[in-house]
Amino acid sequence: MTTVIPTATDVSLRELEAEAIEIIREVVAEFDRPALLFSGGKDSAVLLHLARKAVWPAPLPITLLHVDTGHNLPEVLDFRDQVVAEGGHRLVVAEVEKWLADGRLTERPDGTRNPLQTVPLLDTIAEQRFDALLGGARRDEDRARAKERIFSVRDAFGSWDPRKQRPELWRIYNGRHAPGEHTRVFPISNWTELDVWRYIAAENVALPSIYYAHERPVFQRDGMWLTPGPWGGPRGSETLQTLSVRYRTVGDGSCTGAVESSAGTIAEVIEEISVSTLTERGATRADDRLSEAAMEDRKREGYF
């Protein structure tokens, strides 16, 4: 198989880029206190790159927001902080540990913290008075995300109601919201995982090193290769092994697994994804396997 690395003039990528930039400019024009959800992962890295292009040469008038579960891999946090320092951005971090320490949250029996992100997220949105949140969600990640419009209004409690979505005809977006409500905006909603990687190649977007194959001690749990960390493991019959792996998505280490891989370059990653029969979420995110409606249930409560 010959991998085709896209060029800066790739028509399909430029159409996706133009749509995303138009959406970001709409947010900058319509909202007073927008924020961009930035975890240091590939989708948010691409989103930040697009946002910079959307306002260039002006500085980015958007705050970055990260909900840190306390279980994030250190390579990703280092990358996040490096990007913020180099870009001179304002970063707000909502640390789940603080909500656990003062009793606003309770640790789950299974030790996973992805579902615990919703309360810190909504509290921080209210505290910072953010009225729009740009997110890097894509339609191909999960069927619940495929139901959501590009501009998605959330009520005063941060909840999403899929039955009350506004029509989006042609490219007309509706950012109107009442006091206390806010809008989630998804500029790369029409992108696929492969589109993201082709854009990373074309634009030379920097990513955390764990997106590429590397030797790592891992143990298997629920069919996924997890890295030892504060979330525990290996335990019981779980055995630590050193394998060549990479991450397709990054997030809470208690429920986000690596995949066995030898793809050490962007071209090799694109080739690997092109022939993969597993979706990104199905292959590497345990909490999305809980039920068919797991993501939709969390989104209704205010999740990303």
Asked whether residue 152 falls in the same domain as residue 167, the answer is yes
pLDDT value at residue 35: 98
As a whole number, mean pLDDT of residues 111-117 equals 86
pLDDT value at residue 115: 85
Asked whether residue 23 falls in the same domain as residue 38, the answer is yes
Lowest mean pLDDT among 61-65, 109-113, 268-272: 109-113
pLDDT value at residue 301: 74
Residues 152 and 182: their CA atoms lie apart, in Å, by 9
pLDDT-derived band of residue 294, with 50, 70 and 90 as boundaries? low
pLDDT in tens, 53-71: 999 999 999 999 999 999 9
Asked whether residue 93 falls in the same domain as residue 240, the answer is no
pLDDT-derived band of residue 235, with 50, 70 and 90 as boundaries? confident
Cβ atoms 270, 264 nearer than 8 A: no
- On the question of pLDDT at 242 being above 90, the answer is yes
Q: Any residues with CB less than 8 A from the CB of 126 and at least 6 apart, and which?
A: none
Cβ atoms 134, 37 nearer than 8 A: yes
Tell me the whole-structure pTM to 2 decimals: 0.90
pLDDT-derived band of residue 289, with 50, 70 and 90 as boundaries? low
Higher pLDDT, 129 or 169: 129
Q: Any residues with CB less than 8 A from the CB of 225 and at least 6 apart, and which?
A: 218, 219, 243, 245, 257, 258, 259, 260
Asked whether residue 105 falls in the same domain as residue 168, the answer is yes
Q: Would 286 be classed as within a structural domain?
A: yes
Domain limits for position 37: 8-192+293-301
164: CATH = 3.40.50.620
Fill in the amino acid letter for 190: N
Residue whose pair of structure tokens reads 């806010």 in the numeric block: 182
pLDDT value at residue 161: 82
pLDDT-derived band of residue 17, with 50, 70 and 90 as boundaries? very high
Q: Would 48 be classed as within a structural domain?
A: yes
Q: Would 105 be classed as within a structural domain?
A: yes
Asked whether residue 284 falls in the same domain as residue 297, the answer is no
Lowest mean pLDDT among 29-33, 117-121, 165-169: 165-169
**What is the number of structural domains in the chain?**
2
pLDDT value at residue 292: 52
Q: Would 3 be classed as within a structural domain?
A: no
pLDDT value at residue 252: 85
Asked whether residue 35 falls in the same domain as residue 24, the answer is yes
Q: Would 29 be classed as within a structural domain?
A: yes
pLDDT-derived band of residue 159, with 50, 70 and 90 as boundaries? confident
As a whole number, mean pLDDT of residues 232-246 equals 91
Paired strand residues for 258: 225
As a whole number, mean pLDDT of residues 89-114 equals 93
As a whole number, mean pLDDT of residues 220-231 equals 88
pLDDT-derived band of residue 1, with 50, 70 and 90 as boundaries? low
The per-residue b/e assignment along 22-54, b for 16 or more CB within 10 angstroms, e otherwise, is: ebbebbbebbeebbbbbbbbbbbbbbbbbbbeb
pLDDT value at residue 19: 96
pLDDT value at residue 56: 96
pLDDT in tens, 38-56: 999 999 999 999 999 999 9
Distance (Å) of CA 195 to CA 20, 42, 191, 251, 278: 13, 11, 6, 20, 16
Asked whether residue 116 falls in the same domain as residue 233, the answer is no
pLDDT value at residue 135: 95
Asked whether residue 92 falls in the same domain as residue 153, the answer is yes
Q: Would 178 be classed as within a structural domain?
A: yes
Asked whether residue 177 falls in the same domain as residue 239, the answer is no
As a whole number, mean pLDDT of residues 250-269 equals 91
pLDDT value at residue 15: 95
